[in-house]
C-alpha cells in the first residue's frame, strides 16, 4: 500500500473515525473543521446509543403515513416544515419511493452487518483505550406504554431474530426485574441484548486526542468553500485559510455535505433532521441500560461514568435552521415523566437544551465511497440516526477504500453516486 496524504472535511464522529482508521492504515491525515477545538456538532449531544436493533432503515414502510399523522401535533417527535424547495420535494419523493418492503428487505441485512461490525470496533477501542468513553454493554429496552405498540415491537423483534439479532419480548414484571432501580409505567418492552451505549463527547474527545498524539494535523476554524479540479483530479481544497493540497479528499461534513460538494459533479440528496437532547446532571434514578420510549420516540441514555441521564428525540426537517422549538422539547420532557414515574417536569426546568442536525439521506443509507467522476474524492456522510453507531465501521471502510483495498463489507448500496 502507498502511504498518502488524506484531507478530511469535517471533525464530527464520521470524519474523526475516518481519520483514525486511515492513520492506522499508515496514511498521513489532515482534518479541516470550520469550528474550533471545542466546537459543537451533531456528534456530541446525541443519545450515544450503538444499536444493531435499528436494522430497519428510516425510509421504512409505514414511515410516510406516520409522518403525515405526526405533522399536525406541535409536540410530536416528527415534523417537516413545508417549504418551496426543489431539494425538499426531490428528497421527499425519493424517500417515498424508498419506503417499500422490497427496499427494506435489501437494506436490513446490510445495516445489521454494519452495526455489528461497528459494535465490535467500539468493544476493541474500549479495551485499547481503557474504556475512557464509558461503553456500557448491557443491551437496550424498547419501552411500550400501550399493548398496540408492544405488538408492533414484538413483530419487529421477530424480524430481528430472523436476521440473527437477538430480541426478547418482556412483560412489565420482567422489565421491572431487569431495571430494579427505576420506576416505570409501561406494559412491557422488547430487550435487545446486543445494543450498547457510551458518552459521545468523551468518544469524540478521545479520538481527537489520539489523532493529535499520533500526528494528525488539525486545521480548526477552517471552512471549505470550494475545490480546484483538473480533469478527474481534485488539486486542492479552497478554504477560508487558503488552498490546501493532499492526495485524497474526503467530505465528511454531516448535514452540510451537499453544501461542501456544491459545484462538483454529484447529486447528494440530503435533509437536516434536527433533534434535541436534555441531560440531567443529578437524575433521581439512573437506569442500567439505554432505552427508547417507543410511542414518544425518545431515547434515554444513562451515562454512569459521569452520573448523568440524557433524554433525546424529535426529527424536524426544517432545513439548516438550528433554532430550538420549545413545544417539541416539551414533548420530550412530558414523555420522560410519563414513562419514568419518579421524574417530574420540575427535574428538567432550566436544564440547557442541546440541538443537532442529523444528515438524513432519502433512502436511510449513508453515502460512503468514491465519487464516480473523480479519482481522488470520496464522501462519508448521511448517517441520519446512526452516525455514532456506524462511525467506526465507516472509518474502517473508508480507510480500506482510500488504501485501494476491497472493503470488508460490500458497500455497493452505500454508493454516493446512486442518485446521479
Ligand atoms: C437528538 C439526537 C440523538 C441522536 N442519537 C444517536 C444515537 O443514539 N446513536 C447514533 O448512532 N446516532 C445518533 N444520532 C445521530 C448522530 O448524532 C449523527 O448521525 C452523527 O453525529 C453525524 O456525524 P457526522 O460526523 O456525519 O456529522 P457532524 O457531527 O455534524 O459533523 C460534521 C462536521 O463538519 C463540519 N463542517 C460543516 N461544513 C464544513 C465546512 N464547509 N468546512 C469545514 N467543516 C465543516 C461541522 O462543523 C461539523 O463539525 C443522534 C442525533 C440527534 C440529533
Is there a contact between 362 and 317 (Cβ–Cβ < 8 Å)? Answer: no
What is the CATH number for 67? Answer: 3.30.9.10
Give CA–CA dist 223/86, Å, rounded. Answer: 26
Pocket test for ligand 1, best of 255, 358, 386, 393 (most atoms within 8 A of CB): 358
**What's the CA-to-centroid distance between 95 and ligand 1, angstroms?**
20
Q: Is residue 402 part of a domain?
A: no
Per-residue cell: 349: 426546568
Q: Is residue 383 part of a domain?
A: no
What digits encode the pLDDT tens for the residues 36-52?
Answer: 999 999 999 999 999 99
What digits encode the pLDDT tens for the residues 333-389?
Answer: 999 999 999 999 999 999 999 999 999 999 999 999 999 999 999 999 999 999 999
Confidence tier at 68 by pLDDT (50, 70, 90) = confident
Q: Is residue 73 part of a domain?
A: yes
Give CA–CA dist 299/53, Å, rounded. Answer: 13
Q: Is residue 32 part of a domain?
A: no
* pTM to 2 decimal places: 0.97
Residue among 369, 347, 368, 206 at smallest CA distance from 283 = 347
Is residue 75's pLDDT more than 90?
A: no
Confidence tier at 66 by pLDDT (50, 70, 90) = confident
Q: Whose CA is nearest to atom 1 of ligand 1?
A: 275
Confidence tier at 60 by pLDDT (50, 70, 90) = confident
Model pLDDT, residue 72: 79
**What's the CA-to-centroid distance between 382 and ligand 1, angstroms?**
9
What digits encode the pLDDT tens for the residues 106-164?
Answer: 999 999 999 999 999 999 999 999 999 999 999 999 999 999 999 999 999 999 999 99
**What's the CA-to-centroid distance between 357 and ligand 1, angstroms?**
6
Contact residues of ligand 1, CB 6 A cut-off: 9-15, 32-35, 39, 41-43, 46-49, 223-224, 252-256, 260, 275-277, 299, 312, 356, 358-359, 381, 383-389
Is residue 54's pLDDT more than 90?
A: yes
HSE-up of residue 201 (Cα within 13 Å, Cβ side) = 12
Q: Which atom of ligand 1 is nearest to the CA of 389?
A: 11
Q: Is residue 283 part of a domain?
A: yes
Is residue 12's pLDDT more than 90?
A: yes
Q: Is residue 346 part of a domain?
A: yes
Is residue 77's pLDDT more than 90?
A: no
Q: Which atom of ligand 1 is nearest to the CA of 222?
A: 43
Model pLDDT, residue 350: 93
Model pLDDT, residue 1: 79
Q: Domain containing 160: what range?
A: 53-83+135-196+271-360
What digits encode the pLDDT tens for the residues 170-226?
Answer: 999 999 999 999 999 999 999 999 999 999 999 999 999 999 999 999 999 999 999
Pocket test for ligand 1, best of 7, 9, 11, 12 (most atoms within 8 A of CB): 12
Number of domains in the chain: 1
Q: Which atom of ligand 1 is nearest to the CA of 253?
A: 34
Q: Is residue 15 part of a domain?
A: no
Q: DSSP 3-state assignment of 356?
A: strand
Pocket test for ligand 1, best of 8, 40, 41, 208 (most atoms within 8 A of CB): 41
Looking at per-residue confidence, does 72 or 255 come out higher? 255
Residue count of the chain: 420
Model pLDDT, residue 391: 98
Model pLDDT, residue 170: 98
Is there a contact between 294 and 149 (Cβ–Cβ < 8 Å)? Answer: yes
**What's the CA-to-centroid distance between 48 and ligand 1, angstroms?**
12
Is there a contact between 390 and 114 (Cβ–Cβ < 8 Å)? Answer: yes
Q: Which atom of ligand 1 is nearest to the CA of 32?
A: 43
Question: Taking all residues of the chain, what is their mean pLDDT, rounded to a whole number?
Answer: 96
Model pLDDT, residue 384: 97
Confidence tier at 93 by pLDDT (50, 70, 90) = very high
Confidence tier at 59 by pLDDT (50, 70, 90) = confident
SS (H, E, C) 357-403: EEEECCCCCCEEEECCCCCCEEEEECEHHHCCCCHHHHHHHHHHHHC
Model pLDDT, residue 15: 98
Is residue 71's pLDDT more than 80?
A: no
Is residue 74's pLDDT more than 90?
A: no
Per-residue cell: 306: 459521569
Q: Is residue 229 part of a domain?
A: no
Amino acid at each position: 500500500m502507498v502511504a498518502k496524504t488524506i484531507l478530511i472535511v469535517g471533525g464530527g464522529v464520521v470524519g474523526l473515525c475516518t481519520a483514525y482508521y486511515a492513520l492506522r492504515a499508515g496514511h498521513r491525515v489532515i482534518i479541516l473543521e470550520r469550528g474550533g477545538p471545542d466546537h459543537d456538532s451533531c456528534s456530541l449531544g446525541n443519545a450515544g446509543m450503538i444499536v444493531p436493533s435499528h436494522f430497519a432503515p428510516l425510509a421504512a414502510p409505514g414511515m410516510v403515513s406516520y409522518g403525515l399523522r405526526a405533522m399536525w401535533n406541535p409536540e410530536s417527535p416528527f415534523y417537516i416544515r413545508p417549504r418551496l424547495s426543489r431539494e425538499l420535494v426531490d428528497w421527499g419523493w425519493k424517500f417515498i419511493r424508498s419506503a417499500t418492503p422490497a427496499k427494506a428487505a435489501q437494506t436490513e441485512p446490510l445495516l445489521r452487518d454494519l452495526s455489528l461490525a461497528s459494535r465490535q470496533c467500539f468493544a476493541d477501542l474500549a479495551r485499547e483505550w481503557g474504556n475512557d468513553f464509558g461503553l456500557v454493554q448491557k443491551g437496550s429496552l424498547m419501552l411500550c406504554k400501550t399493548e398496540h405498540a408492544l405488538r408492533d415491537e414484538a413483530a419487529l423483534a421477530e424480524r430481528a431474530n430472523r436476521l440473527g439479532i437477538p430480541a426478547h419480548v418482556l412483560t412489565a414484571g420482567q422489565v421491572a426485574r431487569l431495571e430494579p432501580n427505576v420506576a416505570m409505567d409501561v406494559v412491557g418492552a422488547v430487550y435487545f441484548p446486543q445494543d450498547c451505549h457510551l458518552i459521545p463527547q468523551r468518544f469524540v474527545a478521545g479520538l481527537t486526542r489520539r489523532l493529535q498524539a499520533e500526528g494528525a494535523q488539525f486545521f480548526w476554524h477552517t471552512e471549505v468553500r470550494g475545490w480546484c479540479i483538473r480533469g478527474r483530479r481534485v488539486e486542492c481544497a479552497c478554504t477560508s485559510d487558503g488552498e490546501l493540497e493532499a492526495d485524497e479528499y474526503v467530505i465528511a461534513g454531516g448535514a452540510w455535505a451537499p453544501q461542501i460538494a456544491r459545484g462538483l459533479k454529484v447529486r447528494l440528496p440530503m435533509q437536516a433532521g434536527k433533534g434535541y437532547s436534555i441531560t440531567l446532571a443529578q437524575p433521581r434514578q439512573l437506569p442500567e441500560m439505554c432505552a427508547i420510549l417507543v410511542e414518544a420516540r425518545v431515547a434515554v441514555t444513562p451515562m454512569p461514568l459521569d452520573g448523568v441521564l440524557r433524554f433525546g428525540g424529535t426529527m424536524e426537517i426544517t432545513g439548516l435552521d438550528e433554532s430550538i422549538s420549545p413545544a417539541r422539547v416539551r414533548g420530550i420532557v412530558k414523555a420522560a415523566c410519563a414513562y419514568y414515574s419518579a421524574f417530574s417536569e420540575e427535574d428538567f426546568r432550566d436544564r440547557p437544551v442541546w440541538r443537532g442536525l442529523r444528515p438524513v439521506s432519502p433512502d436511510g443509507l449513508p453515502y460512503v465511497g468514491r465519487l464516480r467522476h473523480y479519482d481522488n474524492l470520496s464522501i462519508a456522510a448521511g448517517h441520519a440516526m446512526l452516525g455514532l453507531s456506524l462511525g467506526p465501521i465507516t472509518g474502517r471502510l473508508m480507510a480500506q477504500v482510500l488504501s485501494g483495498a476491497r472493503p470488508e463489507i460490500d458497500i455497493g448500496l452505500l454508493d454516493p453516486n446512486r442518485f446521479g
